[in-house]
Amino acid sequence: MSLDHPSTPNDLSAFWMPFTANRQFKQAPRLLVAAQDMHYTSHDNRQILDGTAGLWCCNAGHCRPTIVEAIQKSAAELDYAPAFQMGHPAAFELANTLVGMAPEGFDHVFFTNSGSESVDTALKIALAYHRARGEGSRTRLIGREKGYHGVGFGGISVGGLVNNRRVFGTLLNGVDHMSHTYLGDANRWARGLPELGADLADELERIVALHGADTIAAVIVEPVAGSAGVILPPKGYLERLRAITRKHGILLIFDEVITGFGRLGTPFAADYFGVMPDLMTTAKGLTSGTVPMGAVFATGAVHDAFMTGPEHMIELFHGYTYSGSPIACAAGLATQALYKEEGLFDRCAAIAPYWEEALHSLKGTRHVIDIRNLGLIGAIELEPMPGEPTKRAFNAFLKAYEKGILIRTTGDIIAMSPPLIIEKSHIDQLVGTIKEVLDTLD
């Protein structure tokens, strides 16, 4: 190990770690010091197979040379350019590349630095869009129970994971939530999309009847809910949501932060489901996790509603110092080129049936009460320990890490989303190790 990477830093206390059990971690740290393709290197010099693409983001695998070189080149050539009232070529080039691969109708891209910022940006665009069109009474935002839309105040207001909301005050006003689509026994062991529950979309009609369509700006959903433990949309559900939102003039926002950039074997979930929203939020796979970056995709109709008034006036009072920063754009361009060159979205679609088969082979394994999958996403739900929810899955995560695989847990669910370059042998290793872990776990 190089001296640049001391195997453990001498003091772990200063760094308040995000979404982490800080005290547990600091007693038994798990540090990653290098990465290549499908593997991390741990601080104790072990190879760890990445079953989660980092945090659902390193879709092209790790430290891919063309992305690394593009970042290095950009850092040496143009470190930063002001994002407001100024531009640089790579931002326009990346925006063009992105609209070129998005479903037809998405003609514009607004750059952010994360999924949370993409969500708050999309919500603000939705509110301002209606106002620009003279429908300023449309101020309500509708989310869904168990939804995860990042950690900004907008995102946690429309989000529906209780722990992410309850200690943070009253949040945004005028938000309502539809039911989640997790139906337990009714859809247990479904392979791919579950059969039952499309009618849950009709709840939106109830919410519209309660508040009046003319007060509702937008509905935001994850096409596939990731952070809640992989909850899939029942067959026909998203189509119904689209029909109802369209009927009432409500914008539909797909939060594609995890589904964007190939995770389902298509560029976006909108392509996979053949359902066209009005706005799409993305991040993560946009740069394969290398440089923080997000993007909100807007249709021409949404964008053009803002392009009125005197031409010297700013049309949307929103943006970030680092919106479309040169190094992020270089990373984004190299990432998109690599996805294309290696056909990684098609590769995901091609290996997804093997992934499904391998995951479902765990049916009957100790503690396993459900298995869900779509594209290169998988979830293994465990029976919680009596009186100690989340503990069994967390123990499984720790044991799996000891045995050389990185998985992620949320509640009592093991969630996986490997890089799209995964080979069958890696899938066998992931599933085999999980079985070993569960067989010996309390």
Ligand X SMILES: Cc1ncc(COP(=O)(O)O)c(C=O)c1O
Residues near ligand X, by CB under 6 A: 56, 114-116, 119, 148-150, 222, 226-227, 255, 257-258, 283
> What does the alpha-carbon distance between residue 147 and residue 164 come to, in Å, rounded to a whole number?
10
User: What is the DSSP code (8-state) at residue 231?
Assistant: B
Residue 57: CB minimum distance to ligand X, A: 8
Residue 201: CB minimum distance to ligand X, A: 19
Nearer to ligand X among residue 115 and residue 234 (C-beta): 115
Nearer to ligand X among residue 133 and residue 165 (C-beta): 165
**Strand 279-282, strand 106-112: pairing:** unpaired
Nearer to ligand X among residue 91 and residue 257 (C-beta): 257
> What does the alpha-carbon distance between residue 442 and residue 387 come to, in Å, rounded to a whole number?
14
Nearer to ligand X among residue 19 and residue 189 (C-beta): 19
Residue 391: CB minimum distance to ligand X, A: 23
> What does the alpha-carbon distance between residue 55 and residue 374 come to, in Å, rounded to a whole number?
17
Give the residue carrying structure tokens 């995709």.
Answer: 297
Dihedrals phi, psi of 382, to nearest 5 degrees = -105, 150
Angle of the 344-360 helix axis to the 326-341 helix axis, nearest 10 = 70
Amino acid at the residue 3: L
Distance of CA 148 to the CA centre of its chain: 9
Nearer to ligand X among residue 132 and residue 142 (C-beta): 142
Give the residue carrying structure tokens 């920063």.
Answer: 325
Contact 371, 380 (CB under 8 A): yes
Residue 202: CB minimum distance to ligand X, A: 23
* Best CA proximity match to 351, nearest among 264, 292, 268: 264
Residue 155: CB minimum distance to ligand X, A: 6
Residue 117: CB minimum distance to ligand X, A: 7
Residue 276: CB minimum distance to ligand X, A: 18
Nearer to ligand X among residue 56 and residue 397 (C-beta): 56
Chain position whose Cβ is nearest to ligand X: 115
Nearer to ligand X among residue 74 and residue 116 (C-beta): 116
Nearer to ligand X among residue 50 and residue 399 (C-beta): 50
* Best CA proximity match to 362, nearest among 381, 383, 339: 381
* Residue 435 CB-density burial (10 A; 0-12 exposed, 13-18 middle, 19+ buried): middle
> What does the alpha-carbon distance between residue 336 and residue 427 come to, in Å, rounded to a whole number?
24
DSSP secondary structure, 2-35, as one string: -TTS-SS-S--SS---TTS-HHHHHHS---EEEE
Contact 144, 221 (CB under 8 A): yes
DSSP secondary structure, 300-312, as one string: HHHHHTT--S-TT
* Best CA proximity match to 318, nearest among 175, 176, 161, 112: 112
Residue 255: CB minimum distance to ligand X, A: 4
Contact 322, 96 (CB under 8 A): no
Nearer to ligand X among residue 159 and residue 367 (C-beta): 159
Residue 357: CB minimum distance to ligand X, A: 26
Nearer to ligand X among residue 222 and residue 437 (C-beta): 222
Residue 284: CB minimum distance to ligand X, A: 6
Please compute, for residue 297, the number of CA atoms within 13 A of its CA located in the half-sphere on the CB side.
33
